[in-house]
Amino acid sequence: MRPSLRGLVLSYRIPRYRYASLMIAFLTLELRIEGAHSLKDKRQVTRSLKDRLRGSFNVSVAELEPSPLWNQATIGIVSVSHSRDYLDGLMKNVERAATRIANNAGADVTDSFIEFI
């Protein structure tokens, strides 16, 4: 006969000091997609960029501020680490890769900026 686990509460307490030094890096990319003549063309470029960045780097990627214009897009990339130096290097590498991927897909990165929280 197996003992019942009903009513048993398992908890694990994580000390607060372990989270005090976490850094969040947020990279925003503004894209201009010259070859897009429809929303489908825009989605193809942005989906390709997002999938390739997720596959190459350990980052979260999403389209921000969905624009009704076919030739503009805003992409947000986020990563978390204990080291600001690591995040700075990672975001610079992601920015270079995103520019290369966007250029190959027929888009231009018109603006980019990095924020640390």
Q: How does residue 17 score in pLDDT terms, banded at 50, 70 and 90? A: low
* Residue-level pLDDT at 21: 79
* Domains, the chain, ordered by start: 21-116 (3.30.70.1120)
| Angle separating helix axes 39-56 and 84-104, nearest 10 degrees | 140
Q: How does residue 20 score in pLDDT terms, banded at 50, 70 and 90? A: low
Cβ pair 10, 84 in contact under 8 A: no
Q: In what order do the strands lie in the sheet with 72-81?
A: 60-64, 72-81, 23-33, 107-116
CA pair distance 45, 106, nearest whole angstrom: 8
pLDDT in tens, 66-84: 878 889 999 999 999 999 9
Which residues are bridge partners to 27 per DSSP?
77, 114
Nearest partner of 72 among 113, 33, 108, judged by Cα? 33
pTM: 0.80
Give the whole-number percent of the chain exceeding pLDDT 90: 70
Q: How does residue 65 score in pLDDT terms, banded at 50, 70 and 90? A: confident
Residue 47 pLDDT exceeds 90: yes
CA pair distance 81, 69, nearest whole angstrom: 35
- What is the H or E stretch that residue 113 is in? strand 107-116
Contacts of 54 (CB under 8 A, 6+ apart): 60, 61
* Residue-level pLDDT at 3: 44
Q: Phi, psi at residue 71, to the nearest 5°?
A: -105, 15
